[in-house]
Amino acid sequence: MTYEAIRYEAADGVATVTLNRPDVHNAMNETMRRELTDCFAGLVADDTVRVVVVTGTGQRAFSAGADIREFVAPQVPTVFRESRKRVDFRQAMDRCPQPIIAAIRGFALGGGLELALACDIRVASDDAQLGLTEVNLAIIPGGGGTQRLPRLVGRGKALEMILTGARIGASEALAIGLVERVVPAGEVLAHAQTLARTLADKAPVALRYAKEAVVKGLELPLVDGLRLENDLATLLRTTDDRVEGARAFLEKRKPRWTGR
Ligand code: COA
């Protein structure tokens, strides 16, 4: 699949999706949004990909958010209605059974941070700058930021970031739980890909069910979440890979997963 505003590569069970508009700090235009939706919709059904890494091209930015040049054109009602009907690419990401890792170098602002928030694990460079800066443009985050940020960092911190529109650095992002790891600039993609390969080595169905139990469980009351966990754990007791995992341990060898 060839794209214009993103790049897609896959090898050894790890797919890398790269936002690719370096001239504008990988800002998201309509083409990028459409391509990300198509790309993640395709990944839902792709069993050869076990883990996805999302990153931005260049050294300065993961993404500076929505392409502000598109804001200047007046909104025609029909175009606006059509765009509202489309599935947001972050919802397509939510449907992805594979773990998604964000490798964040430099700026992750507005929709760029919302993209990172829709990922499962965030690795940031020590020079990263993160913020939901929409309020500075008289708008609010519209790609899930007002919902996903407070679920990650709590109501007060989320409101502080959203209402001030301020950017925070990597060490503060780590301290408040907005990113999971901070690594030296220049190592962020390699670090995320090593982490991705570590995950891709796990039994494929266990990896997917572990993500499903956590992500779907968070949307449920505790009693229903526990039931979901129990159902998925029970299903995993029926797999060939469970027997293989136990045998490999007892025989002191590396397991050979079949995904069955
Ligand atoms: N949309 C469109 N173009 C953008 C952009 C965006 N979100 N962010 C940056 N660009 C463009 C700039 O206009 C500039 O283009 P030019 O070279 O044709 O002038 C180029 O990318 C480089 O950006 P510049 O502002 O010169 O770089 P900087 O290092 O001084 O500042 C940022 C970087 C990210 C802090 C700054 O560009 C910025 O604040 N961008 C807007 C971020 C934002 O508010 N996003 C939320 C949108 S809802």
Q: Contact 102/119 with Cβ under 8 angstroms?
A: yes
Mean pLDDT taken over the chain: 95
Atom of ligand 1 nearest to the CA of 109: 45
225 CB neighbour count, 10 Å cutoff: 16
Could you tell me if 165 and 64 lie in one domain?
yes
Give nearest CA residue, ligand 1 atom 2: 67
Segment (H or E) for 64:
none
* Arithmetic mean of pLDDT, 117-146: 97
One-character DSSP codes across 15-56: EEEEE--GGGTT-B-HHHHHHHHHHHHHHHT-TT--EEEEEE
| Candidates 134, 172, 212, 229; catalytic one | 134
Edge to edge, what strands does the sheet with 168-169 contain? 61-63, 107-109, 129-131, 168-169
Counted domains in the chain: 2
Q: Contact 69/31 with Cβ under 8 angstroms?
A: no
Joined tokens for residue 258: 């079949």
pLDDT band at residue 144, thresholds of 50, 70 and 90? very high
- 57 CA to centre of ligand 1 in angstroms: 15
Query: Which residues form the domain of 142?
Result: 6-200
The response to whether residue 195 sits with its C-beta less than 6 Å from ligand 1 reads no
- 8 CA to centre of ligand 1 in angstroms: 24
Asked, for residue 257, whether it belongs to a domain, the answer is no
Quote the distance between the C-alpha of residue 157 and its chain's center.
21
pTM of the shown model: 0.95
Could you tell me if 102 and 174 lie in one domain?
yes
Asked, for residue 169, whether it belongs to a domain, the answer is yes
Could you tell me if 101 and 210 lie in one domain?
no
Active site residue 35: no
- Ligand 1 pocket: which of 21, 23, 25 to mutate (most atoms within 8 A of CB): 25
* Domain finish residue from 158, 184, 200: 200
- In this predicted model, what pLDDT tens digit does every residue of 34-89 receive, in sequence order? 999 999 999 999 999 999 999 999 999 999 999 999 888 877 777 777 766 666 89
